Amino acid sequence: MSVLNNKPQMFVIQFPSNFWYEEVVSTWEPMVKRMKLPYNTVDDFMNQQIQQVTFPSTNLEIATQRRGQYEIAYPTGKELEHEIGKNLNITFKLTESYLSYWIVWHQVDLYLHYAGDGLKRNKEPLYMEPIFLSFLTDAGLEMVKFKFEQIIPTNIAELNLSYAATVASYNTFNWSLRYNYFDVS
């Protein structure tokens, strides 16, 4: 008899090494190194601060038609990519000095500056670099890999500051992104 073991934590989400703008890296990487953590780059640090990812939902529409007294349902004929929500929500752990929050905030600030300024639009792409989400087997091998492309930030959750914070706990914040396309491999 075998017992199936559901391991919902068997995923990896990754920001590629070119995801963070050069200005973000040059500003915050010295801070990451100064914290004496086992991370040498902003990429490594931010990838390790991810606590949760909300994978987009799929809402399959149907078409209905009345046949006499019965309502008959039909598939709409759309491809699955058109039916999947195009939003990703990533939850990050807040570290000392709220470093992960300020790195995301700086990235979004620069993105809006580049995307909104017609002069700089020619220098920087209109979209952020792709994000990769891999689902792993029980042995830790990659089974399915999603590549989310043409990413636009849509929200940074509020930052709740309190003098009554508990020392033994850590807080999180959410970063919401929208993508236009995904690729599955």
Phi-psi region of 81 (alpha: psi -120 to 50; beta: other; left: phi over 0): alpha
What is the value of pTM for the model shown? Answer: 0.80
The whole-number pLDDT of residue 38 equals 85
Residue 1 has pLDDT above 50, yes or no: no
Rounded Cα distance, 115 and 109, in Å:
10
> What domains, with CATH codes, occur in the chain?
11-184 (2.30.110)
Helices then strands, each counted (H, E), the chain: 4, 10
Mean per-residue pLDDT, 39-46: 89
Q: Are 138 and 9 in contact (CB under 8 A)?
A: no
